[in-house]
């Protein structure tokens, strides 16, 4: 049986999650996770490649994006890393998916990394853009100036002026980030507008602002995730088969040598750097991103 490709909804944990679910119901599940400031359209060209190989592909809107909504007005609009990972875990439970390949970038890559680290029994393989589990205790340590300037938007979001700027100019600001982070990608206005509609979510600003303040230890997290954050503070190792995919032209997170992240991975590990590709990996290089997923699928079948 093949699932139809239309936005579906499921109550999962604290959220009413909007997601796409396509492909054969008995195919190997692949969960694709977008980042900031993107949405599920980043995987539009990745999905058919995976479907052609028999995968079942699930692509959710993260908390604060698109039609995904919090179930309660009383829930903290947290954007912290543990919340994103717990959302992924809850979604897999709600869809009765015992194990999946998890693949993402930016926020989605971090959620996938955490799931692989904390619940390896649920993860067949991992595709991410690095070992991106945040070390919040070390966040105050400065980076070299040539790296610091890339994070101007994060420091902007630390201020109330930044919150107001995101609220007032969310499309303009996010379009600028697309341009700065993917300097070799010539996206058109309809492509951006298709994704930018997801930023109209009523919780978008609160979730984004909390995310960029929490990772620097500037605001408390949701107490519900305190134990998960304690585990993440230890920078847990990842044992599942992993392929990292990074863009050589990434304007915000420059790629690193394989040896930099390798100590965090104890199983199969590859680091693929894509020439002339920026931060929005799956939308800029869908074949390469899909190939990473399919490499893990073939590894599983050996």
The rounded distance, in Å, linking the Cα atoms of 119 and 138 is 24
Q: List the domain boundaries for the chain.
A: 2-301
Q: What is the pLDDT of residue 117?
A: 98
pLDDT at 88: 98
pLDDT of residue 191: 98
pLDDT band at 4, cuts 50/70/90?
low
What CA dihedral angle connects 201, 205, 207 and 209, to 10 degrees?
170
Q: Is the pLDDT of residue 101 over 80?
A: yes
CA distances, 191 to each of 103, 175, 182, 196, 279 (Å): 22, 11, 14, 9, 16
Phi-psi region of 140 (alpha: psi -120 to 50; beta: other; left: phi over 0): alpha
Residue 180 has pLDDT above 80, yes or no: yes
pLDDT reading at 273 higher than 90:
yes
Please say whether the beta carbons of 199 and 34 come within 8 A.
no
Give the pLDDT score at 232: 98
Q: What is the mean pLDDT of residues 40-52?
A: 98
pLDDT at 172 over 70: yes
Rounded CA separation 246/239 (Å): 20
> What pLDDT band is residue 301 in, cutting at 50, 70 and 90?
confident
Does the structure show a pLDDT above 60 at 267? yes
User: What mean pLDDT do residues 216-239 have?
Assistant: 98
Percent of the chain residues past pLDDT 90, beyond the cut: 96
Residue 300: predicted pLDDT? 84
Calculate mean pLDDT across residues 81-103. 98
- pLDDT reading at 302 higher than 80: no
Distance CA 185, CA 28 (A): 31
| Contact status, residue 282 vs residue 43, Cβ threshold 8 Å | yes
Q: Return the closest-CA partner of residue 278 out of 173, 179, 202, 144.
A: 179
Phi, psi values for residue 294, rounded to 5°: -70, -30
Q: 2-301, what's its fold?
A: Rossmann fold (3.40.50)
Q: Provide the pLDDT confidence category of residue 1 given band limits of 50, 70 and 90.
A: low
Confidence of residue 42 (pLDDT cuts 50, 70, 90): very high
Name the least confident of 47-56, 59-68, 118-127, 257-266. 257-266
pLDDT for position 70: 98
* Each residue's pLDDT tens digit, 183-193: 999 999 999 99
Q: What is the mean pLDDT of the chain?
A: 97
């Amino acid at each position: 049986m093949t699932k139809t490709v239309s936005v579906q909804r499921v109550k999962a944990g604290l959220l009413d999650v909007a997601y796409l679910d396509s492909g054969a119901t008995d195919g190997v599940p692949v969960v694709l996770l977008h980042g900031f400031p993107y949405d599920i359209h980043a995987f539009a060209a990745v999905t058919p490649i995976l479907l052609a190989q028999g995968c079942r592909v699930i692509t959710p809107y993260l908390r604060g994006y698109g039609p995904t909504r919090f179930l309660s007005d009383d829930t903290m609009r947290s954007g912290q890393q543990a919340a994103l990972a717990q959302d992924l875990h809850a979604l897999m439970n709600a869809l009765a998916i015992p194990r999946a390949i998890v693949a993402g970038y930016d926020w989605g890559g971090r959620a996938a990394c955490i799931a692989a680290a904390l619940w390896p029994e649920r993860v067949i393989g991992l595709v991410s853009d690095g070992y991106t589990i945040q070390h919040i205790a070390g966040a105050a340590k400065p980076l070299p100036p040539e790296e610091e300037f890339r994070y101007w938007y994060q420091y902007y979001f630390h201020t109330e002026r930044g919150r107001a700027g995101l609220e007032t100019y969310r499309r303009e600001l996010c379009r600028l980030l697309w341009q700065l982070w993917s300097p070799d990608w010539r996206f058109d206005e309809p492509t951006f507008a298709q994704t930018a509609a997801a930023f109209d979510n009523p919780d978008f600003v609160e979730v984004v602002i909390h995310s960029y303040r929490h990772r620097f230890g500037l605001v408390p997290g949701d107490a519900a995730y305190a134990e998960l954050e304690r585990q993440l503070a230890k920078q847990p190792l990842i044992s599942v088969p992993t392929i990292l995919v990074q863009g050589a032209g990434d304007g915000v997170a420059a790629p690193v040598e394989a040896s930099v992240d390798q100590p965090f991975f104890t199983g199969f590990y590859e680091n693929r750097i894509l020439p002339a590709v920026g931060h929005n990996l799956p939308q800029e290089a869908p074949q390469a991103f899909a190939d990473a997923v399919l490499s893990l699928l073939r590894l599983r079948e050996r």
